[in-house]
């Protein structure tokens, strides 16, 4: 029996996969737990429409990421912070970098796209990776200066 998986199932398949399983497995396990639906005409068409919509959305996000990438490739963001002797009193986080991007360049970016392993605790120049899209990652130049 062919079924469309509604969720990821270990050792069976991922969400959206059309797989062949035994009748008993489908009737007694997958259907009652709402893990799959029968791969009939209407369900297959719905799956195709859903895939097409996801692909269009992904293409739109890719175009937006390319536009942001061209803006940020050569940009240098300056972040000001209070300092002691070569060290910051606080720290520069991913949210601070996202705020500086919006303030300086007008690029609104979610802080989760800024891949900062550890907060910045000193002044200087840094290259911070930004994951704009699953296929696009750039290095943003950030200069941390004291006030």
pLDDT value of position 36: 94
Residues 42 and 87 in one domain: no
Confidence (pTM) = 0.70
Residues 109 and 141 in one domain: yes
Closest CA to 130 of 105, 106, 101: 101
- What's the rounded Cα separation, in Å, for the pair 78 and 100? 7
Residues 84 and 104 in one domain: yes
Task: Give pLDDT tens digits for 56-109.
Answer: 999 999 999 999 999 888 899 999 999 887 788 889 999 999 999 999 999 898
pLDDT value of position 79: 92
Residues 81 and 104 in one domain: yes
For 27, which DSSP code? I
Q: In the numeric block, which tokens belong to residue 147?
A: 């006030």
- What's the rounded Cα separation, in Å, for the pair 121 and 146? 11
Residues 117 and 55 in one domain: no
Q: In the numeric block, which tokens belong to residue 67?
A: 């536009």
């Amino acid at each position: 029996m062919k079924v469309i998986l509604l969720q990821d199932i270990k050792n069976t398949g991922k969400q959206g996969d059309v797989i062949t399983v035994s009748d008993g497995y489908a009737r007694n396990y997958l259907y009652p737990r709402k893990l799959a639906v029968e791969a009939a005409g209407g369900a297959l068409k719905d799956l195709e429409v859903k895939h097409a919509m996801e692909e269009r959305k992904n293409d739109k996000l890719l175009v937006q990421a390319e536009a942001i990438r061209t803006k940020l490739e050569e940009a240098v963001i300056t972040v000001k912070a209070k300092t002691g002797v070569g060290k910051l009193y606080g720290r520069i986080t991913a949210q601070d970098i996202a705020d500086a991007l919006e303030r300086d360049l007008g690029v609104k970016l979610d802080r989760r796209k800024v891949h900062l392993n550890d907060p910045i605790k000193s002044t200087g120049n840094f290259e911070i990776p930004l994951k704009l899209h699953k296929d696009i990652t750039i290095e943003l130049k950030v200069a941390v200066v004291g006030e």
